[in-house]
Amino acid sequence: MSDAKDDPIWGGFLADWGHWIPELFITPGTLDALAGQVPSEWISAAKRPQRDTIAAIWQTASRSLPRFSGYLANEILSVAVGKGDIGYVLIYFLQKCMERPVGVYHPGFIFGGLPTAETLLDELEHKQGKLPSSLADLWRVHDFMLTKEEGVVSSLDAAVQPFAGAPRRLPEPLQAPEDRDLLYECLAVVDSERPSSLCLRRRPGTNVWEDHLVRAFAHQATYLPAAWATIDDMLTDWERSDYRPTPTSAV
């Protein structure tokens, strides 16, 4: 790990996130030693962070998350595998990640965990109803995700939930702001343990969660519109502006 501490990119990551993820793998030898413990696509991307290696990780989610998978492929600068109490994570260092101020973008990190077991997805859908393909496919790639706005997509893995939280169905339906007579059930999926959460919604009596994000606050009977319409938008865009590929990174 000493090489990571001294690295100008990954030393910065450890300074910010070393409490949760104290161990990084960035050299070919240490990455090769992870074979069988992490997906082979992770190792390939960490050794050669290019459009094609990133696309291989997100191949199964490219249809349901087209903007986000494209964003990662366009903006990737470097990749590392990390390990901590939350297990193995894949860390993406991106050219356009943080936005400060509006319209001014800086490099930064996002990261996600190992793929979610299909049995956990089946169990959640049996208990809570059908998920939108965007969220299900995201969980098939990473069992949680730290977004560039530093929200955390929750996890189905109990070992990761101390960091990421678990999906949480709100106890009572909430009123729609445009019509107080309309009620929606809400499933908190981003920052699910916090007083303010991003939620999927559905009408009571239905079994399918919409790919439509709303923001719910503790002890309030009405949800509010979210800054992002969908899971794909939330992962790709900033709270105050939308992602657009620069001419040099556009396909």
- pLDDT at 219 (0 to 100): 86
User: Does the pLDDT value for residue 1 go beyond 60?
Assistant: no
Among 47-56, 146-155, 216-225, the least confident range: 216-225
Nearest to 91 by CA among 184, 213, 7: 7
Question: Tens digit of pLDDT for each residue in 71-109?
Answer: 999 999 999 999 999 999 999 999 999 999 998 999 999
Question: What pLDDT shows up at residue 247?
Answer: 64
Q: What is the pLDDT of residue 2?
A: 46
Mean pLDDT of 166-195: 93
pLDDT band per the 50, 70, 90 thresholds, residue 179: confident
Which residue in the block uniquely carries the two structure tokens 């094609």? 52
- pLDDT given for residue 154 in this prediction: 98
Tokens encoding 118:
């299909």
Name, in order, each residue with C-beta under 8 angstroms of 105's C-beta and a sequence gap of 6 or more: 95, 96, 97, 98, 99
pLDDT tens for each residue of 21-78: 999 999 999 999 999 999 999 999 999 999 999 999 999 999 999 999 999 999 999 9
Class of residue 23 by CB neighbours under 10 A (exposed 0-12, middle 13-18, buried 19+): middle
Q: Average pLDDT of 230-244?
A: 96
pLDDT class of 251 with cuts at 50, 70, 90: very low
**Average pLDDT for the chain:** 94
- Say which residues have a Cβ less than 8 Å from residue 205's Cβ, sequence separation at least 6: none
Tell me what the mean pLDDT of segment 146-163 comes to. Answer: 96
Work out the percent of the chain whose per-residue pLDDT is above 70: 97
- Using a pLDDT cut of 90, give the percent of the chain over it: 89
